[in-house]
């Protein structure tokens, strides 16, 4: 091999000097560049096809991410890598070599940034595809997350590129920090709502379709936006909350309710016989237990009221739907009324007994 190279280098014009290196050295550098370019392009195709085939056979999204990242390898990046590899064979002046190294490093940083951006975009798209059917309003919040992720990514790429080409970035970072603080102070309310929309997306205190109560307002969540959340109240009007206000509030979310605990009381008259008083808890149990999606808890003679003997009843409706609860309560009230009517038990209502004292001292 060494003899062949010497033979090759020994030819006439190949010994001529061109820009500091002999022609045969330039030819070797070009050969290295061509080989590196060909190898990268040849490997890129089979790797992409193999990953694509793997992605079609599996249900996970990781292989799809890898396919999308590999396909975003720029041809210009491959050319720069190949040319830099070829240039390593040659001997350039220190300044020229430094410029070539800077170009190579910047190209690598940009390509890594493109790969990372594609990774972020594909990941967010996959999450959106899963969430769109359940929560269409989350698209805007995912867009905010993607925007800030790309902003941070390219900011880091830019700073690293400037540092690699010899720019002093300490003062630049300090300047950006001061400018960022000024912008943040000027738009703190808007930025607060934006970041709180991301907090709502990630923490999920409520979702579109949930019935929530915030202070004195209540209704169904219709849309979770970047700055505001819109709630449709029971009376029909739209109530708009800022996201910062919601995150800082105590929220009752009935959309997450698995079961509804119902406590209510009834009162019967003091003239009700003892035997029938003892039978009332059993009557109530017999009425409630057969009802679907209802779990009976207890029924007790609670207290002697001002004008009634008070019974306390507790049961659970195994549904978050308010209409289901009202249907159950209505059915129970009607059956209880019918049962008491058959047994001759009277419901109590506010009454007042007046005792009249006669002049002779008797009372009526």
- Going residue by residue through the chain, which has 364 residues, state the pLDDT in tens, using 9 for 90 and above: 444 445 444 555 555 554 555 566 667 777 888 888 888 777 776 666 666 665 556 555 555 666 666 677 788 888 888 888 877 777 777 787 788 888 888 888 888 888 888 888 877 777 666 665 555 555 556 666 777 788 888 888 888 888 777 767 676 666 655 555 555 544 456 666 777 777 777 777 888 888 888 888 888 888 887 778 889 988 888 998 888 888 888 888 887 788 889 999 999 999 999 999 999 999 999 999 999 999 999 999 999 998 899 999 999 999 888 888 999 999 999 999 999 999 999 998 887 667 677 666 555 5
pTM given for the model: 0.48
Query: Which pLDDT belongs to residue 186?
Result: 47
All CATH 3.30.70.100 domain ranges in the chain, comma separated: 260-343
Options 2.40.50.140, 3.20.20.70, 2.30.30.60, 3.40.50.970; CATH of 192-256: 2.30.30.60
SS3 labels along 222-248 = EEECCCEEEEEECCCCEEEEEHHHHHC
Q: Which residues pair with 323 in a beta bridge?
A: none
Taking a C-beta distance cutoff of 8 angstroms, is the pair 251, 213 a contact? yes
Query: Which pLDDT belongs to residue 86?
Result: 77
Work out whether the CA dihedral 128, 134, 140, 144 comes out positive or negative: negative
Question: Is the CATH code 3.40.50.620 the one for domain 260-343?
Answer: no
DSSP output for 246-261: HHTS-EEEGGG-S-EE
Query: Which pLDDT belongs to residue 254?
Result: 83
Strand, helix or coil for residue 16: coil
Work out whether the CA dihedral 155, 156, 160, 166 comes out positive or negative: positive
All CATH 2.30.30.60 domain ranges in the chain, comma separated: 192-256
Query: Which pLDDT belongs to residue 178?
Result: 54
Query: Which pLDDT belongs to residue 136?
Result: 55
Could you tell me which of 120, 41, 26 has the C-alpha nearest to residue 77?
A: 41
Query: Which pLDDT belongs to residue 15?
Result: 56
């Amino acid at each position: 091999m060494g003899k062949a190279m010497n033979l090759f280098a020994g030819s006439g014009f190949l010994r001529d000097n061109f820009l500091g290196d002999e022609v045969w050295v330039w030819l070797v550098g070009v050969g290295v560049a061509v080989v590196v370019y060909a190898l990268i392009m040849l490997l890129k195709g089979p790797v992409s096809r193999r990953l694509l085939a793997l992605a079609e056979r599996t249900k996970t999204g990781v292989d799809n991410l890898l396919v999308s990242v590999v396909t975003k390898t720029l041809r210009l990046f491959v050319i720069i890598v190949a040319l830099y590899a070829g240039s390593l064979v040659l001997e350039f002046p220190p300044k020229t070599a430094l410029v070539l190294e800077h170009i190579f490093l910047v190209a690598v940083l940009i390509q890594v940034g493109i790969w990372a951006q594609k990774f972020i975009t594909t990941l967010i798209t996959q999450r959106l595809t899963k969430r769109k059917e359940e929560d269409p309003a989350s698209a805007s919040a995912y867009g905010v997350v993607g925007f800030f992720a790309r902003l941070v990514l390219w900011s880091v790429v830019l700073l690293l590129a400037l540092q690699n080409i010899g720019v002093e970035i300490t003062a630049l970072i300090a300047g950006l920090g001061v400018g960022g603080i000024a912008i943040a102070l000027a738009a703190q309310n808007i930025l607060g709502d934006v970041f709180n929309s991301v907090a709502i997306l990630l923490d999920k205190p409520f979702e579109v379709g949930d019935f929530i109560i915030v202070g004195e307002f209540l209704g169904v969540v219709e849309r979770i936006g970047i700055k505001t959340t819109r709630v449709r109240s029971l009376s029909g009007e739209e109530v708009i909350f800022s996201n910062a206000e919601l995150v800082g509030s105590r929220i009752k979310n009935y959309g997450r309710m698995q079961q509804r605990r119902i406590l209510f009381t009834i009162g019967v008259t003091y003239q009700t016989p003892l035997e029938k008083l003892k039978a009332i808890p059993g009557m109530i149990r017999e009425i409630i237990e057969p009802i679907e999606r209802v779990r009976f808890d207890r029924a007790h003679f609670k207290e002697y009221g001002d004008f009634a003997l008070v019974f306390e009843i507790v049961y659970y409706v195994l549904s978050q739907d308010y209409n289901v609860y009202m249907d159950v309560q209505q059915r129970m009230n009607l059956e209880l009324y019918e049962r008491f009517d058959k047994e001759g038990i009277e419901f109590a209502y506010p009454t007042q007994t007046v005792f009249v004292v006669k002049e002779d001292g008797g009372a009526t």
